[in-house]
Structure 1
Amino acid sequence: MIFEALKTNVETIVSNTENSTNERLLHICQLLEKNINYYNWVGFYFRNGNKKELILGPYVGAPTDHTIIPFGKGICGQVALSNKNFVVPDVTAQDNYIACSISVKAEIVVPIFVNGENIGQIDIDSNTPDPFTESDERFLEFVCHKVSEML
C-alpha cells in the first residue's frame, strides 16, 4: 500500500532538522500531492495565536484566497472547533463549505494536536468524488502526529 511506503518518507522529512519547519511542512505537502493521485491540494492551517481563526501555512496546489479562516467557517473552521477528523465525500452536499475551486469534489481535514491542544490541521482537496477511505484518515493521523513532534 502506498501509505505504508510514504510513512518512511514522512519520517525522513520530519527528522531533517537542516530544513526549517515550514520547509519540512512544504516537503510533506509535495510528497503527498505527488504520490497520491487524488490529493490535488494539500496544505496546512494553523491557529493564529490566541485568535479564533486559522492561518494558511505551507501548501501545494492551486492558489487560494482562503488564507485566514474563522473558527466554525468551512470544513477547516469546523475541525478547529470539533477537534475531530472531517471527511467530505461530496462538497456540494455541505452547507458550511468554503469553495476554493469548482474542480474540488471532496475534502478531508485532520487536526494536529500538541500537548492535547488542537493547533492546526492538514487539509486535502480532491478533484475526485468520494475518494477518501479510512486508510486515508489513519495515514493522515500518522502525518499529523509526526508533524506535532516537530512543532
Structure 2
Amino acid sequence: MLLETLKPKVKTILNQNHISRNEKLFEICALLKNNIEYYNWVGFYFRNGEKEELLLGPYVGEPTDHTVIPFGKGICGQVAVSNQNFVVPDVAAQDNYIACSFTVKSEIVVPLFVNGANIGQIDIDSHVLNPFSEKDELFLEFVNQEIAKLF
C-alpha cells in the first residue's frame, strides 16, 4: 500500500540535519500532497503558546486566509479541544466548519502530541467526498509520532 511505502520517506526527511524543523514539515507536506492523489491541501497548525488558538505552520496547497483559528472553531479548533482525530467525510454536513474553498469536500485532522500535550495537528483537505479511511488515520498518527521527536 502506498501509505506504507511513504513511512521510510517521512523518516528520511525528518532525519535531515541540514534543514530547519519548518523546512522538514514543509517537505512532509509536499511528500504527502504529491504522492496521495486525494490529499489536496496538507498543512500544520500549532498552538500559539498559552493562548487558546492555533497558528498556521508549514503547508502545501492553495493559500488560506485561516492563519489563526480559535480553539473550538472549525474542525481544527475542535481537535485542539477534543485531542481526538476528526474525519469529516462531507464538510457540507458539518455545522462548525470553516470553509477554505468551495473545492474542499472532506477533511481529516490528527492531533500532534509531545509529552502527552496536544501542541498542534496535521490538517488535510480533499476535493473528493469521503476518501479518508482508518489507514489514513493510522498513517497520519505515525507521521505525527515521528514529527513529535523534533520537539
Alignment TM class, shorter chain as reference: over 0.9
> Could you tell me which residue of structure 2 aligns to residue 20 of structure 1?
20
Give 1:131's aligned amino acid.
P
* Runs of 4+ deviating beyond 4 Å: none
CA RMSD of aligned residues (A): 0.4
TM-score using structure 2 length:
0.99
TM-score using structure 1 length:
0.99
Question: CA offset at residue 82 of structure 1?
Answer: 0.2
Question: CA offset at residue 90 of structure 1?
Answer: 0.2
Give 2:149's aligned amino acid.
E
Structure-2 separation of matches of 1:58 and 1:73 = 20
> Could you tell me which residue of structure 1 aligns to residue 126 of structure 2?
126
> Could you tell me which residue of structure 2 aligns to residue 33 of structure 1?
33
> Could you tell me which residue of structure 2 aligns to residue 60 of structure 1?
60
Question: CA offset at residue 17 of structure 1?
Answer: 1.8
Structure-1 separation of matches of 2:3 and 2:123 = 17
Q: The residue matched to 1:66 in structure 2 has which SS?
A: coil
Q: The residue matched to 1:72 in structure 2 has which SS?
A: coil
Question: CA offset at residue 43 of structure 1?
Answer: 0.1
Map 1:129-140 onto structure 2 (within 5 A): 129-140=129-140
Structure-2 separation of matches of 1:18 and 1:112 = 23
> Could you tell me which residue of structure 1 aligns to residue 98 of structure 2?
98
Q: The residue matched to 2:149 in structure 1 has which SS?
A: helix
Question: CA offset at residue 18 of structure 1?
Answer: 1.1
Q: The residue matched to 1:144 in structure 2 has which SS?
A: helix
Q: The residue matched to 1:81 in structure 2 has which SS?
A: helix
Give 2:55's aligned amino acid.
I
